[in-house]
Amino acid sequence: MGAAFFYHLTRKPLEVTLPMLLGKAMGAGWRVAVRGIDMERMKWLDQALWMGPEDGFLPHGLAGGPHDAAQPVLLTVAAEAANTPHCLMTVDGAGVTAGEVQALERVCVLFDGNDSAAVEAARGQWRNLTGAGCSAQYWSEESGRWEKKAEA
């Protein structure tokens, strides 16, 4: 049974934080699905990941290609990911179910702490998931480094 980790982004934007988390997940040997809610935004994220630091190549693909099942990281808006992930990372308020948290090694919910609607959506997800018995951790970068602030 996995756990949901909530990442409250206040200092570094998604395009900086996501590659760091993806690198850690891949270092654990996990395939990852990154679920968003808007395909144009996922295309933008795809480009941002390709333009990352030279020493930080992050193999990934945008869902809809012929090799989706083989992608170590697959960017998608669909509920099901073709790459059979061990880890799901959600962005921009994409939904996640308690069943997914329980079936996967880890679920990461990344949300923009400077957007009050995103914060409220993340709070709702926390209540729903912990209310369904899922383990959860809340991480904040407010101090300048990532710190665990809550656990359920």
pLDDT of residue 55: 67
Give the pTM.
0.95
Domain ranges of the chain: 17-151
CATH number for domain 17-151, candidates 3.40.50.2000, 3.20.20.60, 3.40.50.10110, 3.60.20.40: 3.40.50.10110
Instruction: Tell me how far CA of residue 147 lies from CA of 36, 70, 85, 144, 151, in angstroms.
Output: 25, 33, 26, 9, 12
Write down the mean pLDDT value for the chain. Answer: 94
What is the β-pairing status of strands 87-90 and 135-140? Answer: unpaired
pLDDT of residue 58: 87
pLDDT of residue 1: 72
List, for residues 21-64, the tens digit of each pLDDT value. 999 999 999 999 999 999 999 999 999 998 876 667 789 999 99
pLDDT of residue 54: 67
The mean pLDDT of 87-98, rounded to a whole number, is 97
6 and 136 Cβ atoms separated by less than 8 Å:
yes
